[in-house]
Structure 1
Amino acid sequence: MPTDRVPVVFIHGLWLHSSSWRPWVDLFESLGFDAVAPCWPGEANTVESARRQPEAAAGFGIDAVTEHFAQIIRSYDTAPVIVGHSFGGLFTQKLLGMGLGRAGVAIDPAQMKGVKPLPFAQLRSGFPVLGNPANKKKAVSLTAEQFHYGFGNALSQAESDQLFEKWAIPSPGRPLFEAAFANFSKNSPAAVDTANTTRGPLLLISGRQDHTVPDVVTRASYKQYGGSSAVTELKQFADRGHSLTVDSGWRGVADHVLEWLARQGVQPRIGSAG
């Protein structure tokens, strides 16, 4: 996919539609990046359609979704920046470890193999899926209350409900089961090549009030990169929950990402100075 601008591929996680990245895409585009936010495999193009067709997204696991985005990234002539939230953050790390992407940003990334902390808040957030083994083959929806606990706990009930109505969709249960049992599986799809020294720079971001991926989990993921000389940095946002990419404070997170990319020498246009 030829372009004279630096591409950016945004990857969402469970229970948010790809269009939830629209403010980020618009911002990055306005600054000269070539930004896209593709759907997961089986995901309909609109929130309304995704809600009407939950079965279309059922059954896709970590490997299938990773390969889906790997094909998109390989289609570019210029290696894209990869920015992912939640499970999108896990895919970002897997793709970067595979040598794909110019740089990666993993925001509240889902738990990779090797990460040991499992806080109660994380278990409670995942219970709507993990509480029923049959959900591994299904696409599961959250209620507004479950969304408020897992995503919007740092927000007012009203703002959380607005985000739920605007962006929430059913999502496949398989990735959550695969991540939850990663440390009991020798060949877990949730494994990441954290020792890769030739990969692009990686920024991990944590919301310190996050229930779905608590700060301790992101910090444990960061420590997994201790054996790599590649650039790996951690940024923690106090008083922010799992909704930090879509709530009213999203711009502060986006601005930090842009500043970090600039420090890594990633400019909006190839060869440009700004």
Structure 2
Amino acid sequence: MVPVTAAHDVERIEQANASGRPPVVFVHGLWLLPSSWDRWATVFEEAGYAPVTPGWPDDPETVEEANAHPEVFAGKGVAEVVDHFADLIGRLDRKPAVIGHSFGGLITQILAGRGLSAASVAIDPAPFQGVLPLPVSSLRSAAPVLGNPANFHRAVPLTYDQFRYGFANAVSEEEARELYETFAVPAPGEPLFQAAVANFNPWSETKVDTENPERGPLLLVSGEKDHTVPWAITNASYKKQHRNERAVTEITEIAGRGHALTIDSGWREVAETALAFVKRFH
């Protein structure tokens, strides 16, 4: 079942269509909200694009509201979220570029595999079915959710120490605390469980069609110091995507950066890397 699209997301789509500019859809990952893309949206708008920053189904508008009502995040699986974004993209007048971070990077690749994007950038993307590396740091980052099977049906917040390790290990203590207070919200546990068992489930919702000739160009971006999605995972994703003989597939590593690379003080370097790639094809 495709979820009902939030009114404000429809409004953003209509604004993008009315602008006549090429659209760019941003997909956030776990423990963040669409507002995490606000600065990116400004950069892309100034470059001549129409940015669209939808939420996952039922996302609150603000971090304060999200932390006050964590229950709204519970029970969201990968397929539901992908169908939500596919529905939004179907309302656009033309194919967008799609940029996603973390689980948003996984969703970006699933959408690309459906032939829905003109160009895609997956930043520190969560692994899809068939990606085998399981670094210790990734397991530790996922432990706040995977450590309790009951979390499958729950929304799970991160403590500051958990956020510091999984997201903000490559910035100062002061910046890490600021990022936590500004951006961190609870997240559904279900997607992490789905990713964890993907290679044992032939019907996994994390499956990506890497061979679709309509996939379009794809850039994978890895933060050098990322604990949550280290280079080993992103590079394994790249190797599978690179087998697509009809579409450009590239990978780059951003030196000295952790999983918070889209929101920390170095965000602009990552945004400009993504923008340069999108400009080549969209």
Q: Which TM bucket (shorter chain)?
A: over 0.9
Separation (CA, whole Å) in 2 of partners of 1:47 and 1:38: 15
Aligned-residue offset at 1:238: 1.6
Task: Provide the residue aligned with 1:177 in structure 2.
Answer: 193
State the AA in 2 paired with 1:250.
W
For normalisation by structure 1, the TM-score amounts to 0.95
**1:9-68: CA deviations, max 9, x gaps?**
101000011101100011111222110211111211111111111111100100000001
Aligned-residue offset at 1:199: 1.7
Match among 4, 26, 39 for residue 23 of structure 1: 39
State the AA in 1 paired with 2:69.
Q
Separation (CA, whole Å) in 1 of partners of 2:158 and 2:119: 32
Aligned-residue offset at 1:263: 2.3
State how 1:1-274 maps to structure 2 within 5 Å: 1=14, 2-3=17-18, 4-229=20-245, 230-264=247-281, 266=282
Structure 1 residue runs of 4 or more that deviate by more than 4 Å after TM superposition: none
**C-alpha contact 2:59 2:72 (8 A) present in aligned 1:** yes
* Cα RMSD after superposing both structures: 0.9
Provide structure 1 residue ranges, at least 5 long, that are not aligned to the other structure: 267-274
Separation (CA, whole Å) in 1 of partners of 2:126 and 2:271: 19
State the AA in 1 paired with 2:105.
G
For normalisation by structure 2, the TM-score amounts to 0.92
Separation (CA, whole Å) in 1 of partners of 2:64 and 2:279: 36
**May I ask how many residue pairs the two structures share in their alignment?**
265
> More helix by proportion, 1 or 2?
2
SS in 2 for 1:205: strand
State the AA in 1 paired with 2:61.
N
Separation (CA, whole Å) in 1 of partners of 2:151 and 2:106: 21
SS in 2 for 1:105: strand
State the AA in 1 paired with 2:251.
L
SS in 2 for 1:224: helix
Task: Provide the residue aligned with 1:269 in structure 2.
Answer: none
Identity of aligned residues (%): 54
Aligned-residue offset at 1:107: 0.2
